[in-house]
Amino acid sequence: MAEAHTAFFIGDVALDDYFTAERWPAIADKAYVREVKSYVGGMIANAASVHAGLGGRTEFISLLNDSALSARLCTAMNDLGVSTRHMLHDPSLADSRNLIFLTGGEHVVLIIEMASLPMHLTGEALASLRTPGHLYMSLGRTKRLRAEGLQGRELLADFRRHGRRLILDLDVDGFAEGDLDYLHGAEVLIMNQIGFGHAFGDTDLAGINAWMRQNEVGTVIRTLAAAGAEAFDGERRIEVRGYRVPVVDVTGAGDTFGGALTYALGENLGLPEALELAIAAASRAVTIEGPQGGVASLETIEKFRAEFAGQRS
């Protein structure tokens, strides 16, 4: 078997401070909250940790300040098998923190705003990215990357020429017309139902075929929360059901899906098999509190699939 390639994850990492609330207050209202615990999280960091937990070779890059908290975040990821050797630093940035409130079976996330500064990759990081493998990012981070005078579509095209395949997690925002340069040539676009609606309106998944050809996008995936996920690769529509499980915390479920999908595709699994693994990993993740509840070995995921095989949505 060929040696596994290293997957790069470029994006956010933060300390997630958890609270619970009986209800979410309206404007000019008040409510009591209970502080629970703090976890290392962040959308792309969670996905990277899941990828590493499954056995993938994982590199993570973000832009942080030089504080003790930033060191703690990096150490926590290293402990999970994620390399942070290409991390970028700017002492002018605020600490990276999120406030997460669990209420009514859902979650509300408040993100401490940080400056959206350009991310200038080091020469060593650029050389590593110019090798075959996957690159998992959010749309916002693609707009901030810089290297050797390249940015945006040109930089991403440079990566693709060297065999680096782009997976973009578009989450709830989807994309707008002005974002197309950053999506061009992506292997996979992932978005949830809200993000898909923002991007394509009421268009059926199979109805975006012409758009995919025009923008050279390989696969579009729409996650469907507890119902599972569906994908379209330009020829076929694939639907994978979720699992009926007791929900403890949905934070990080989408990140778990993305990290597991990236691992599966890196192992050269077919799209249906990759979706099955990603759905199982995400379904298990919501049964555990914390943004990195989805971090698990492949053996653990397989045990979950066997245990809940008769409990599909």
β strands within the chain, DSSP E = 6-10, 14-21, 33-41, 57-61, 63-64, 82-83, 88-89, 97-103, 106-111, 119-120, 133-138, 145-147, 150-151, 164-171, 188-192, 219-223, 228-232, 237-241
Highest-pLDDT range among 4-18, 74-88, 246-260 = 74-88
Residue 45 CB burial class (10 angstroms; 0-12, 13-18, ≥19): buried
Are the beta carbons of 92 and 115 closer than 8 angstroms? yes
- pLDDT attached to residue 98: 86
Residue whose entry in the numeric block shows the structure tokens 């002005």: 178
User: pLDDT digits over 197-251, tens only?
Assistant: 999 998 887 789 999 999 999 999 999 999 999 999 998 999 999 999 999 888 8
* Percent above pLDDT 70 for the chain: 99
Contacts of 301 (CB under 8 A, 6+ apart): 54, 260, 277, 280, 281, 284
- pLDDT attached to residue 107: 83
Q: For the residues 115-128, what does the mean pLDDT come to?
A: 93
Residue 115 confidence (pLDDT) above 90: no
Residue 1 confidence (pLDDT) above 60: no
Predicted model pTM: 0.91
- pLDDT attached to residue 3: 53
Handedness of CA 103, 25, 22, 19 (dihedral sign): positive
- pLDDT attached to residue 2: 44
- pLDDT attached to residue 227: 95
User: pLDDT digits over 156-209, tens only?
Assistant: 999 999 999 999 999 999 999 999 999 999 999 999 999 999 999 988 877 899
Question: Could you give phi then psi for residue 120, rounded to 5 degrees?
Answer: -90, 105
Residue 47 confidence (pLDDT) above 60: yes
Query: Mean pLDDT in the chain?
Result: 93
Amino acid at 9: F
